[in-house]
Structure 1
Amino acid sequence: MQGVRKAFGTNVVLDGVDLDVDAHRCVVLIGASGSGKSTLLRTVDLLEDVDDGVILLDGEDITDPRRDADAVRARMGMVFQAFNLFPHMRVLDNVTLASRLVHRVPRREAQERAHAMLERVGLGARADAFPDELSGGQQQRVAIARALVTSPRLMLLDEVTSALDPELVGEVLDLLGELKAEGMTMVVATHEMGFARHVADEVCYLHAGTVHERGTPEQVLGDPQQPRTREFLRRIIEAGRA
């Protein structure tokens, strides 16, 4: 991201953001609600148009309006706070839907890939279940499997544990840690400082639509240099999320 700006009316949400993410690395975005984390991810996935600046994926300007946005999104996996599973479809069909309709993968091949990915996330036995038969943590793992089944170049994850009961958070964070260990390139917006501390290669603290401070987890979380970063982390610690 180079000088990315995004405003909704007079509300500037991203104000000249510069951000580099190297392959096989995990960048974690932290910051208060409204700091721009979700909008940043949505601009990368082309769900929001940028007002200024460019976003490059493998050296290509994906913000060029002449680009096929669907083709660009096919190279990324996006997982949201809400699970966004179709309640009337079984798990297997939820996972194969994009492969079949967007990527035009034959049904049998799509199902084989989906079964393998569901095994990967520990849900191989639940392929025929409906979403409401699963726990929240299981539903979020299905959503992650759906994003992974197309072998994305980049994974974007937006507060994927925020809708989960506390006892279910760990299973999803453990899965993300495994993906990082396997070399998946990820940008993760989260309030889970423990995850950021143990999995991130770089932590970026967003404030007022800018990358206010960035560095290794040890530096940003253990020895922040900016007063606003220190105040944010103090509030996180008081809330028991550190």
Structure 2
Amino acid sequence: MALLRCRGLRKVFGGQVVLDQLDLTVAEHEVVALIGASGSGKSTLLRCVNLLDDLDDGTIELDGEEISAPGVDPDRVRRRIGLVFQAYNLFPHLSVLDNVTLAPRRVHGRSRAQAEAHARELLDRVGLGDRAGAYPDRLSGGQQQRVAIVRALANNPRLLLLDEVTSALDPELVGEVLALIRDLKADGTTMVLATHEMTFARDVADQVCFLDGGRVIETGAPQQLFGAPTQPRTRQFLARIIEAGRL
């Protein structure tokens, strides 16, 4: 059974169709990369899966439960989904440790000792164990983004959504965040990531989905989609990416 299944998703903002009968299926332990031009619907899809935006039509299932059904408690659903934005969104008045442990303590009811032990383990793993007491403004962009990912992981999510998590970083800081995502894939973390990093999507994803106009135009293994795309719109998009030296 698929971990995540989206069927016929439709979302309209101000008369503009942002998601147009979009379908997506993600298996457990799979990494799915969403690619496409800005405005193609990638970020909106992630926000809808996390129930931050309401659908106009369609259904979303997580572990076989229709989480988009009326009456479903979005806070209960979000306990099983981690979402990391392109902006780090760390609380500036809290230390790294307090940022990471806030939700486990306040939402999941873990003791401070349990939450902090788990947080320190995760921070050690991403090379930030010595920064637990630091505040966000004392960290580099790459460090802040790694903390944001750790904060999402601290809740032990079934599904991790990553929305252009390297787009706000200086080029030399991108590598450390991508290395963390590679490690998460090796651990079997189920992820859906919207990205403009085409080479990374090709190397790390199990499945790549090309979005255009709010639809999934083409889906395939990275070698197939990047090497021999079947749809003309996909070929046109990738030709521009190659011309720009990004693949």
- Matched to 2:14, the amino acid is G
Structure 2 match to 1:169: 174
Amino acid corresponding to residue 30 of structure 1 in structure 2? I
Residue 29 (structure 1) aligned with residue 34 (structure 2): yes
1:148 equivalent in alignment to 2:153: yes
Deviations 1:23-74 (A, max 9, x none): 0000000000000000000000000011111000010000012111101000
1:1-242, aligned counterparts within 5 Å? 1-242=6-247
The AA in structure 1 aligned to 2:137 is D
Cα deviation, residue 235, structure 1? 1.9
- Report the CA distance between 1:176 and its aligned residue: 0.4
Q: CA deviation at 1:238?
A: 2.8
Q: Which amino acid aligns with 1:219?
A: Q
In the alignment of these two chains, the number of paired residues is 242
> Which amino acid counterpart does residue 130 of structure 1 have in structure 2?
Y
Counterpart-to-counterpart distance in 1, 2:240 and 2:109: 47
User: How far 1:14 moved relative to its partner?
Assistant: 0.4
Post-superposition shift, 1:239?
2.8
- How far did 1:240 drift? 2.8
Normalising to structure 1: TM-score of the pair?
Answer: 0.98
Q: What are the Cα deviations for residues 130-182 of structure 1, in whole angstroms up to 9, with x where unaligned?
A: 11111110100000000001110000000000000000111101110110111
Output the CA distance in 2 between the equivalents of 1:210 and 1:172: 28
One-letter code of the match for 1:241?
R
Residues 174-195 of structure 1: CA distance to partner in whole angstroms, max 9, x if unpaired? 1101101110000000010111
Give the drift of 1:88.
Answer: 1.4
Distance in 2 (alpha carbons) for counterparts of 1:169 and 1:35: 23
Letter in 2 for 1:114: A
TM-score, length of structure 2 as denominator length: 0.96
CA distance in 1, matches of 2:175, 2:235: 26
Structure 1 gaps of 5+ residues are none
The CA distance in 1 between the partners of 2:143 and 2:244, in whole Å, is 26
Task: Quote the Cα distance in structure 2 between the aligned partners of 1:229 and 1:142.
Answer: 34
Read off the aligned partner of 1:131 and give its amino acid letter: P
Identity in percent: 67
Runs of 4+ in 1 over 6 A off after TM superposition: none
Q: Distance in 1 between matches of 2:243 and 2:149?
A: 30
| SS, match of residue 55 in structure 1 | strand
